[in-house]
Structure 1
Amino acid sequence: AQSEVLESDQVWEPKSKVESPRVYTAEIRALYGFDPSTPPFDRLNPEGVVEKLQDLGFNAVFGGSESEEMRSALKTAGIRRFGEYPVFVGKSYWDRDPSSRPITSEGEPYPRQSWYAPLDPHQPWLQEVKREALLERVKNEELDGIWLDFIRFPVFWEEVPPKLIETSFSPEALTAFQERTGIVPEGSSTREMADWILANANREWRRFRADTILGFVDRIAKDLEEQAPNTILGAFVLPWSEDDYGNAIYRIAGQDLDGFAKRVDILSPMLYSHQLGKNPSWIQQRVEEISQRVQIPVYPIVQCFDQPTPMREEEVEDAIRNGRLAPSQGVILFSQRHLETTQRWENVRKTLREVSPPSTDAAPLSTP
């Protein structure tokens, strides 16, 4: 049978970072949503915050970069500071310019799903706005690493089962598709052209979408290589395998993990086991599957929040533990706010500090 996935025909010029991915030689244990102005850190001075983080077992944080004093304390202690940047999401852009709202195969604007308001990756102006904002953030906050989030086409994967909506059939997308492939879809309306593409040029359409995402990632990777060469580039990717929902990670979300691995330093699958109805052992299984496929480190981000139902303390510990198991090279805990609300800090401390964890001092970067 013919494979549904076409190989990319785009020519990429990888930088040295892509050819020789930089890695940390020690396991990374990161707290997502770190905010030293809120509990359990709000009553502590910067040195006290650092001591608290190290006591809990963390050697990296996502956030907490606004205070120069806090940044200095983290740097002195060797605690890495990462950030995440939400790329193709944000209702404010819908209000700013309606063209940012994705168009479905029905020719209709993409519906808002709960808090989720995705953006159309095909819009050149939007890509430029996002690119400039991301680079400005890296520069201003002096981050050790930046993770691309919502770096995909629309899908609200947190719902089980998810509603898989075909996108994005904007005029810009249809024009770019014709220019890229030479394929001219038949039809006089968006719906007719979308139907024709999905029936007659499905594989080319999926590849075109994935290359649109990879093109943006490639630009960011090269920007960082030129402007912030010591900044790690990561990407949060969907938790699904190719077997989930008919390879929806590629078919609907447009995420090509092999392509990502050629352009970023670290992949972070969002392995929210409880929310997806999975046993915590699934976390280690997915990390192993991805690691067998890509030649870069995998740092899963794991669930520490009570959705759709409360998590047992043992389940939280097992999620963290499985996120640390080989071949994982790091784990990210989502998030400070949820851990504080549920008062699970002792579970975190117990689990991050077990199994002879490496030193909480961040190791230097090594370039093979």
Structure 2
Amino acid sequence: MTQIRSLMVFDTAIDAGDFARSCLEWGIDTPCLHPGFLEDGRMVRALESEGLRSWLNVPVFCDPKYLARHPEDYAVTSLGRRAAEEDWLHFVCPSRENYLDGVIKALRRDLGRLTPAVVSLDFIRHFLFWERVVLDGPAAGIEDACYCSLCLSRFEKACGEAVDRGNAPAYIHRHLLQPWAEWKCRRISDVAERLFDEIRALAPGAALAVHTLPWRETDLDGAIRIRAGQDAASLARHADMIAPMAFTQMLGQTALWKEQLLADIRMSTGKPVCFYVQAEALYRPGNITAEQFDAELTEAGNADPAAIMVFQYEQLAARPEKAAILRKHFRA
């Protein structure tokens, strides 16, 4: 696989032509779009006019617009509330088959409008706000999901045990933790397999990627499985590439930590990885200097990943000195 150089973009109101020209100027060959960019043909035409490929990123269970119409399908967290944070992180319960039918219908529509080089499944997990989880902090305080009546009934049937509905999260974590983790992981892997089978049929030439949390199985008492329901090795069987969301600044970590995380994921899955580079600080105090951005791009190049994903266009467009650094690395 030739190394992919990608750039995430979110705001559908941007000028598509400016975006495509910026990608070309900065050395981005496969910009990463969410399905909102396919509601009209502007972005597809702009990328094609500059000879650029595309990466379609599917936000599987994160769907605020759907949940505004169907609030009954919200995942329910361990605190008994809807799985929603800020204006963008609103999670659908992974057991809702009607919702998944809609995801597949949307995939068929979107892949009729676009012939992507890469298709990735994002938010292919159970709800948690990992961006605010301290990696060396206590796992017990992590709010997760889904504890709705449908999920609990399905879990009871799968494990053959009854759950005390008076305080289901506490009961499960005290008495049925491993069966719960296995059930959550199996559900997510089954959904991923179903979606990837559909994508292969619709876009047989596309490379398939899956986004995972930036945690090893030993981190946070196994929270990637117990809380998020992600078994990276199982998910990797259906994908060509793993994209751990390893944002160094956001997680308060170091370049060495990131190197070790990516090596662990390569070894445990047998698949190549995507290296994320964060342009601006998020969720933690401080900032990412131009020098730090430059250094992380150097580290990305030295790591020889299958893809380098820069996060994100809107930030780079406002910081021309960082855009120039990106150009130096990608067009050298």
TM-score tier after normalising by the smaller chain length: 0.7 to 0.9
* Alpha-carbon distance in 2 for matches of 1:242, 1:109: 27
Q: CA deviation at 1:175?
A: 2.0
- For 1:21, the equivalent position in structure 2 comes to none
* CA offsets 1:68-121 (integer angstroms, 9 cap, x no match): 5424334xx3x3211111111133333322332122345x22353223222211
Q: CA deviation at 1:34?
A: 7.8
Q: 1:83 aligns with which of 56, 59, 75?
A: 56
* CA offsets 1:249-270 (integer angstroms, 9 cap, x no match): 1110111100111011211111
2:281 is aligned with 1:306? yes
- For 2:229, the equivalent position in structure 1 comes to 254
- For 1:293, the equivalent position in structure 2 comes to 268
* Cα distance change on mapping 1:120 and 1:40 into 2, 3 Å: closer
Contact residue 298 and residue 330 of structure 1 kept, 8 A: yes
- For 1:30, the equivalent position in structure 2 comes to 6
Q: CA deviation at 1:31?
A: 1.6
RMSD: 2.6
Q: CA deviation at 1:324?
A: 2.7
SS in structure 2 opposite 1:80?
A: coil
2:138 is aligned with 1:138? no
- For 2:46, the equivalent position in structure 1 comes to 70
Q: CA deviation at 1:155?
A: 0.8
- For 1:222, the equivalent position in structure 2 comes to 197
5 Å-filtered alignment, 1:146-185, equals 146-161=119-134, 164-181=142-159, 183-185=160-162
When structure 1 is superposed on structure 2, of 206-215 and 293-302 the one drifting more is 293-302
Q: CA deviation at 1:39?
A: 7.0
* CA offsets 1:114-147 (integer angstroms, 9 cap, x no match): 2322221111112222222133212222222221
| Higher Rg | 1
Give identity over the alignment, percent.
21
What are structure 2's unaligned runs of at least 5 residues? 136-140
- For 2:69, the equivalent position in structure 1 comes to 96
* Alpha-carbon distance in 2 for matches of 1:322, 1:158: 22
Contact residue 105 and residue 191 of structure 1 kept, 8 A: no
* Cα distance change on mapping 1:195 and 1:40 into 2, 3 Å: closer
- For 1:112, the equivalent position in structure 2 comes to 84
2:324 is aligned with 1:351? no
Q: CA deviation at 1:244?
A: 2.4
Q: CA deviation at 1:234?
A: 1.2
Q: CA deviation at 1:40?
A: 10
* Cα distance change on mapping 1:320 and 1:217 into 2, 3 Å: same
* Alpha-carbon distance in 1 for matches of 2:4, 2:98: 35
When structure 1 is superposed on structure 2, of 95-104 and 32-41 the one drifting more is 32-41
- For 1:360, the equivalent position in structure 2 comes to none
* CA offsets 1:271-321 (integer angstroms, 9 cap, x no match): 111121122343333222211122222112221123233211111112222
Which amino acid in 2 is paired with 1:33?
V
- For 1:243, the equivalent position in structure 2 comes to 218
Contact residue 283 and residue 322 of structure 1 kept, 8 A: no
Contact residue 17 and residue 46 of structure 2 kept, 8 A: no
Which amino acid in 2 is paired with 1:253?
A
Contact residue 320 and residue 333 of structure 1 kept, 8 A: no
* Alpha-carbon distance in 2 for matches of 1:59, 1:186: 50
2:307 is aligned with 1:330? yes
* Alpha-carbon distance in 2 for matches of 1:33, 1:251: 31
Q: 1:267 aligns with which of 221, 229, 242?
A: 242
Contact residue 104 and residue 198 of structure 2 kept, 8 A: no
* Alpha-carbon distance in 1 for matches of 2:112, 2:263: 34
* Cα distance change on mapping 1:345 and 1:144 into 2, 3 Å: same
Which structure has more RCO (C-alpha within 8 Å, separation ≥ 6)?
1
SS in structure 2 opposite 1:245?
A: helix
Q: 2:259 aligns with which of 284, 291, 295?
A: 284
* Alpha-carbon distance in 2 for matches of 1:279, 1:194: 34
